[in-house]
Structure 1
Amino acid sequence: MSAQRNIRTNFSFYPPQDDPGAWHATLDSLERALREAFPEPTVEYRKSGIHGMTVLDFEIELAPDVWVDGTAAMPKRDYAYITLTDVTADEAAVFATWLRDSFAPAPHLVHFASSLAMANGAEAPWPLPPGGDTTEIQEALRRHLGSFDTP
């Protein structure tokens, strides 16, 4: 089954489309949360060449020798997104579990999309399971990829 391949893609995480300010987050609050949750993260602020806004680039160690890169934009308190670059569903699920359980103010406020889905014309984010452990989130992310992946 293609969903079991655990391919690499980009995953983006968002507040619900009908409440884009639901996280009540800033880049500073995300940086603080990353520093508290992950050992020795690398963080850097830069101007996005696409939108001209300040973004936060980060690299975090999810597990020993498992590093992921991400970019977050929170240009105003009513909009946010965080993208992980070139990750598997399993890697993204570890981050998504932390995001849902430790950063978002409520577990039902995290939605996600993937580059694979967007490349196939699906732009609407899927809701992250509001309960369950990392394994359940891995399964949801793999189902998502499996609905777009072709062997």
Structure 2
Amino acid sequence: MTTERDIRTNFAFCPPEGEGGAWHATLESLERALREAFPDPTIGHRRSGVHEMTVLDFEIEPAPDLWVDGTAAITEPDYAYITLTDATADEAGAFAVWLRDSFVPTPSLVRFASSLALANGEETPSPLPAHGSREDITGLLRRHLEAFDH
């Protein structure tokens, strides 16, 4: 019997290429949505030295006993990017389903990438399916990581 490794990596979520403003989001709308959706989130704002903009740092529990740390950089009208730090497929899958189903205006507007894939030369984010359960999305993210875990 094989046991799946719980690979940890950074996951990024963004709108489709060329549609950076498709989420119609701001840091304020994301903060409000996180506060409404998750009990006792930890949320803070800081100036990013990388992007030279204000970003939103957060820690939430998207499912029981699953915690994620993330950073969001969103500027109107054309840029949105959310990164989860050192997350497993289970953690990222729970967040991705919430993002897709509860935050973005249309479920087909979410793309994802991982630092593991980027380190292996994959530069194009993949579409997150517009439908599917948390288990389905977690399975997709697991397969994504396994494809790049050499």
How does the TM-score come out when normalised to structure 2? Answer: 0.94
The superposition leaves residues 66-92 of structure 1 with CA deviations (integer Å, 9 ceiling, x where unpaired) of: 321000000222110100001100110
Offset, 1:62: 2.3
Is contact 1:74–1:81 with CA below 8 Å preserved after alignment?
Answer: yes
Q: Identity of paired residues, percent? A: 68
Q: Are 2:128 and 1:140 equivalent residues in the alignment?
A: no
Stretches of structure 1 lacking an aligned partner (at least 5 in a row): none
Aligned residue pairs, count: 149
Alignment partner, residue 109 of structure 2: 109
The one-letter amino acid of 2:56's match is: L
Alignment partner, residue 13 of structure 2: 13
Where 1:56 maps in the other structure, the secondary structure is strand
Alignment partners' CA distance in 1, 2:131 and 2:26 = 25
Alignment partner, residue 87 of structure 2: 87
Is contact 1:31–1:43 with CA below 8 Å preserved after alignment?
Answer: yes
Is contact 1:14–1:111 with CA below 8 Å preserved after alignment?
Answer: yes
Offset, 1:6: 2.8
Is contact 2:63–2:94 with CA below 8 Å preserved after alignment?
Answer: no
The superposition leaves residues 5-39 of structure 1 with CA deviations (integer Å, 9 ceiling, x where unpaired) of: 23000000000013111100000000000000000
The superposition leaves residues 40-82 of structure 1 with CA deviations (integer Å, 9 ceiling, x where unpaired) of: 1011010001121000000112234432100000022211010
Stretches of structure 2 lacking an aligned partner (at least 5 in a row): none
Closer, same or farther: CA 121–133 of 1 in aligned 2, 3 Å: same
The one-letter amino acid of 2:33's match is: A
Q: Are 2:41 and 1:41 equivalent residues in the alignment?
A: yes
> What value does the CA root-mean-square deviation take over the aligned residues?
1.5
Alignment partner, residue 120 of structure 1: 120
Structure 1 outlier segments of 4+, above 4 Å: none
Alignment partners' CA distance in 2, 1:109 and 1:48 = 25
Matches within 5 A, 1:22-33: 22-33=22-33
Offset, 1:144: 1.1
The one-letter amino acid of 1:86's match is: D
Alignment partners' CA distance in 1, 2:130 and 2:5 = 25
Where 2:4 maps in the other structure, the secondary structure is helix
Higher deviation after alignment, 107-116 or 139-148: 139-148
Offset, 1:130: 0.7
Is contact 1:3–1:142 with CA below 8 Å preserved after alignment?
Answer: no
